């Protein structure tokens, strides 16, 4: 049972929830010279709870819609494989949403109604990503969702909780992190393109084909590099150093995305993309300290 729960949590996807809060707290500290550890912990745990709830709901809903078939090339899904019942998986998803709600109380007390708005929308989309009347993942909006909520919203929201201000620096950082997080979705959709096309999941890779999907991954890695030049304009030149993994590991990911055959081999690209995201945050942290 524990193994199934851990599998449904999808630990390899969690950097997408950790990195925006981590980097956002670092940016807040750099901008105002201080930060709140308790608020950072509540923000991080809340973000993780929403991410994990999304993964549980995705597992159960995809199985119900027949999107996870025997032809699946990615990691095993617990509902489709029979490791857990759909009811149990949905229940665990709901439990993690309650955890996110609990974390949101002190954040609301500290930062007010904007956090309430962000929290309500984020908690709904944990289910609405694959469920509800307009499931984003089935309408080719997965990358846009990640760019907005794991980029702009997560980073700017974290900085707002810490500083009480909406900062343009947070929007720049959110754009970089959002693009790098969207790489994970794009590689996943390229790998599963044939299966998704057969089950009615209209991702961008299905809608526009493999050439577009490969170019999109290339763009999602190259754009953060170009955006990094704006740190020079904002008077924070050290932060451009965070782009270094995109010039090294990012080259390997883009090469694989452009030329690798669709299939399970792309799971290695997913792992490298997650590592790229973490390395970006780590170098951003180092740059903040040294700069």
> Which distant-in-sequence residues (6+ apart) come within 8 Å of 102 by Cβ?
none
Are the C-beta atoms of residues 253 and 269 closer than 8 Å to each other? yes
CA dist 206 to 34, 140, 189, 193, Å? 46, 8, 8, 6
Q: What pLDDT score does 78 carry?
A: 84
Q: How many CB atoms lie within 10 A of CB 1?
A: 8
Instruction: Annotate 89-127 with b (16+ C-beta within 10 A) or e (fewer).
Output: bbebbeebbebbeebbebbbebbeeebeebbeebbebbb
Q: Which domain holds residue 29?
A: 2-290
Q: Which two tokens stand for residue 247?
A: 């010039």
Q: Which range has the worst mean pLDDT, 19-23, 132-136, 225-229, 281-285?
A: 132-136
Residue 151 confidence (pLDDT) above 60: yes
d(CA 278, CA 88): 31
Q: Quick: pLDDT tens for 56-112.
A: 999 899 888 876 655 555 677 888 888 888 999 999 999 999 999 999 999 999 999
Residue whose entry in the numeric block shows the structure tokens 């981590």: 22
Q: What are phi and psi of 128, to 5 degrees?
A: -70, -10
Torsion angle of C-alpha atoms 135, 140, 145, 148, degrees rounded to 10: -150
CATH of the domain at 26: 1.10.600
| Residue of 125, 92, 98, 104 lying closest to 10 (CA atoms) | 92
Distance CA 210, CA 227 (A): 26
164 pLDDT exceeds 80? yes
Token pair recorded at residue 15: 């950097």
Q: Write down the pLDDT at residue 120.
A: 93
Structure tokens at 70: 């025997």
Token output for 278: 């973490």
DSSP 152: I
Q: How many domains does the chain divide into?
A: 1
- For residue 71, what pLDDT is reported? 56
Contact indicator for 275, 13 with CB cutoff of 8 Å:
no
User: E strand or H helix at 256, and its extent?
Assistant: helix 249-259
Return the pLDDT at 73. Answer: 59
Cβ contact 154:81 at 8 Å: no
Rounded to the nearest 10 degrees, the angle between the axes of helix 168-191 and helix 154-163 is 150
Q: How far apart are the C-alpha atoms of 214 and 86, rounded to whole Å?
A: 33
pLDDT digits (tens, 9 = 90+) for 204-249: 999 999 999 999 999 999 999 999 999 999 999 999 999 988 888 9
């Amino acid at each position: 049972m524990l193994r199934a729960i851990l599998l449904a949590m999808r630990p390899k996807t969690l950097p997408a929830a950790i990195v925006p809060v981590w980097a956002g707290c670092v940016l807040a500290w750099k901008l105002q010279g201080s930060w709140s550890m308790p608020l950072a912990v509540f923000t991080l745990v809340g973000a993780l709870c929403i991410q994990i709830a999304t993964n549980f709901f995705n597992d159960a809903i995809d199985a119900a819609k027949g999107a996870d078939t025997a032809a699946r090339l990615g990691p095993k899904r617990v509902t489709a494989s029979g490791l857990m019942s759909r009811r149990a998986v949905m229940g665990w998803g709901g439990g993690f949403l309650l955890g996110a709600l609990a974390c949101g109380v002190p954040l609301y007390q500290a930062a007010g109604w904007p956090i309430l708005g962000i929290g309500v929308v984020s908690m709904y989309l944990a289910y609405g990503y694959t469920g509800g009347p307009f499931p984003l993942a089935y309408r080719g909006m997965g990358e846009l969702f990640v760019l907005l909520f794991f980029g702009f919203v997560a980073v700017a929201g974290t900085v707002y909780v810490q500083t009480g201000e909406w900062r343009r620096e947070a929007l720049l950082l959110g754009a970089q992190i959002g693009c790098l997080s969207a790489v994970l979705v794009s590689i996943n959709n390229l790998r599963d393109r044939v299966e998704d096309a057969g089950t009615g999941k209209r991702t961008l890779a299905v809608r526009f084909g493999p050439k577009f999907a490969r170019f999109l991954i290339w763009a999602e890695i190259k754009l953060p590099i170009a955006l990094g030049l704006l740190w020079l304009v904002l008077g924070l030149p050290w932060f451009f150093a965070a782009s270094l993994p995109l010039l090294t590991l990012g080259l390997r990911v883009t090469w694989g995305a452009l030329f690798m055959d669709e299939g399970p081999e792309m799971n290695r690209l997913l792992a490298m993309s997650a590592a790229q995201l973490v390395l970006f945050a780590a170098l951003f942290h180092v740059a903040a300290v040294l700069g």
